[in-house]
Each structure stands twice: as C-alpha cells, then as structure tokens.
Amino acid sequence: MYCPKCGAQNDDNSYKCVSCSYLLHAKPARQMPRPIQSDDSLGGLIPYKNPYSLISYYLAVFSLIPGIGLILGSIAFFLGMKGLRFYQEHPESGGKIHSWVGIILGGICGFGSIILVIFIIIMSQQ
C-alpha cells in the first residue's frame, strides 16, 4: 500500500510508513476472536445435537436389562439407524459412535431377547 501522506510505498502489513512514520492503520490489525470451541469438543463426547443417536445409545444401554431388552433394544436399533442418517445429513451434529452403539447393542439385545422368548416358549411347551 502507498502512504496517504507522503506517497511512499509500504508493505501492506506495515503499521507505520517507512518514510514519514505516518500511521497507516489507526489500530494494529486485531485478530478475530476465536469462535468458542467448547460446543464442538463437548459434542464429540455427548452428541446432544443428534437426539436420535443419544436416545438410541441410552436405550441400548438399558436394553441390557433382561425382560425389557426386546422393546428397548429394537427401539434403540431403529433410533440408531435414524441417528446415523441424521449424522450423514448433519456431520457437525456428531453422534456417529453413539448411533453405532445403539444399532449394535440394541440389535444384539433385541435379537437376543427374541431368541430368549422363543427359547422359553419352546421349553414351556415340553
């Protein structure tokens, strides 16, 4: 840039003119305040922006309890699928891992409960 006072050529980032010491920038270029990152770092641990994956995760954990695993596990499985789709549409929301936990754990508990129920029915008929 050229000094508006004396016309001397200066580096664009110069604070003062090299020739006449005229202040080229009233204030030194201030750095933009960094955006708050805490939201994103927290989102990595708790995907609260992706409610499907969060609910799926907790339902899958509770589906480990025998008896309610069939209901909770299958809900967790479908919510996990929904959460994974939500994550693909909104990658910034996070929740990929939680969704997979919901799908896998919910699937195992739901499927395991079905087998258990069938097993009990077969056993009771003998």
Residue 103 near residue 56, CB atoms below 8 Å: yes
Number of residues that bind Zn ion (CB under 5 A): 8
Region 19-58 residues binding Zn ion, contact defined as CB under 5 A: 19-20, 22
The pair of structure tokens assigned to 43 is 């989102």
Q: Which of 1, 8, 117, 118 binds Zn ion (CB under 5 A)?
A: 8
Q: Which residues of 50-81 are buried (b: 16+ CB within 10 A; e: fewer)?
A: bebbbbbbbbbbbbeeeeebbebbbbbbbbbb
Q: Across-strand partners of 9?
A: 2
Binding status of residue 9 toward Zn ion by CB under 5 A: no
Binding status of residue 17 toward Zn ion by CB under 5 A: yes
Binding status of residue 84 toward Zn ion by CB under 5 A: no
Q: Which stretch binds Zn ion (CB under 5 A): 16-24, 36-44, 77-85, 98-106?
A: 16-24
Residue 75 near residue 102, CB atoms below 8 Å: no
> Which residue carries 């009233």 as its tokens?
26
Minimum CB–partner distance for residue 27 and Zn ion (Å): 18
Residue placing its CB nearer to Zn ion in the complex, 10 or 112: 10
State the residues that interact with Zn ion by CB under 5 A.
Answer: 3, 5-6, 8, 17, 19-20, 22
